[in-house]
Amino acid sequence: MVTTSPSATLDLSPRVRAALACPMCRTPLAGHPDGMTCPACGDRYGWVGRSLDLRPPRAVRAAVEFDVGGAAVPATTAVRPLSPRRDSRHDPDVIRWTSRELHGARMTPALFTHVPDLPPGGGMLVDLGAGSDVYRRLLRSTGFDYVGIDADGDVDLLGDAHRLPLRDESVDCVVAISLLEHLRVPAVALAEVARVLRPGGTLIGSVALTEPFHLDSFFHHTHLGVLTGLSTAGLVADYVSPTTDWPASHALGEMSLFPGLPRIAGRLATTPAQLAGRLWWKVGRRIGRVRADEAERRILFAAGFRFVAHRP
């Protein structure tokens, strides 16, 4: 149920409000005392608690074109360990990194450094799939006008990642942590991210691979899936990095084998198998039974991937 909360507009900066668009026809929205309205559709959007509800009021058809034939996946050097951006002006230590921030295929200090530097005159950053605002304080420290978007919850904007309520080329950076696996059509959402990013804009995110089914997850991604999704959307991958700190054995232990136990218990239970596997890879390569290299081992052991991409 939509309720009126005019004071909640104070949470949205003028830059964010100017970027808002109708999720149905993408016409810039106009304000009214109880929320926003679309001058073209006439649709009105109100508040749910402190959240401006910009979810599509009706079903809307979306189309994504795929290139078929030729190379299945574009040749790339992006599949590699994630390195921090050395010239980043953002300080990861503005927060204390705990298991809440680091658990699973989530944000890391190294990934955070790939948030672009604030351009002259300011810019806008979207935390897509913001959930419980885990990274609000961290991302706001960058100086960007921050807006958290999710399909439900206590966020700035209620919206659908498949139909973002934002104007074309209005966003400098999109952060999408552990989001893609929970979307019905990830390719449509990535196309939306590419649409709202400015040329040169950055997407940073993460996605599950071997994590068990959770929170209505639809599509878990391999590194090839991430690369294909990004390239189909017109984005260029800079990094697609296996989560070496979040191996598949830990994901299985914590999320399916021993649910409800403290996280450390699940990890301790599966660590022997993890260590035995690493030992076998070393021995197996020496005796010729394992032919894969270290890069492939990292991919096969990973429970997910972190990625950085940009719009050309």
Domains and CATH numbers, the chain: 6-53 (no CATH), 92-247+299-310 (3.40.50.150), 249-292 (no CATH)
For all residues of the chain together, what is the average pLDDT?
A: 92
Residue 10 has pLDDT above 80, yes or no: no
pLDDT above 60 for 300? yes
Q: Are 110 and 206 in contact (CB under 8 A)?
A: no
pLDDT value of residue 240: 97
Percentage above 90 pLDDT, the chain: 79
Provide the pLDDT confidence category of residue 103 given band limits of 50, 70 and 90. Answer: confident
What is the pTM assigned to this prediction?
0.93
Rama region for 269: left / alpha / beta (φ>0; ψ in -120 to 50; rest)? alpha
Q: Looking at residue 68, what is its pLDDT?
A: 83
* CA contacts within 13 A on the Cβ side of 175: 29
pLDDT digits (tens, 9 = 90+) for 145-175: 999 999 999 999 999 999 999 999 999 999 9
Rounded to 10 deg, the angle between the 294-301 and 263-286 helix axes is 150
Q: What is the mean pLDDT of residues 206-213?
A: 96
Nearest by Cα to 175 from 79, 86, 64, 90? 90
Output the pLDDT for position 67: 83
Other Cβ atoms within 10 Å of 7 Cβ, number: 9
**Is it the case that residue 8 has pLDDT exceeding 70?**
no
What six digits make up the tokens of 270? 């599966």
Q: How confident is the model at residue 182 (pLDDT cuts 50, 70, 90)?
A: very high
| pLDDT value, residue 264 | 84
116, 119, 111: which is closest to 92 by C-alpha?
111
Q: In the structure, what pLDDT confidence band is assigned to residue 27 with cuts at 50, 70 and 90? A: very high
Expressed in angstroms, the distance from the first to the final Cα of the chain is 41
> What is the rounded average pLDDT of the residues 124-128?
98
Return d(Cα 230, Cα 298) in angstroms, integer: 21
Q: Tell me, what's the pLDDT at 266?
A: 84
**Total Cβ atoms within 10 A of residue 220:** 18
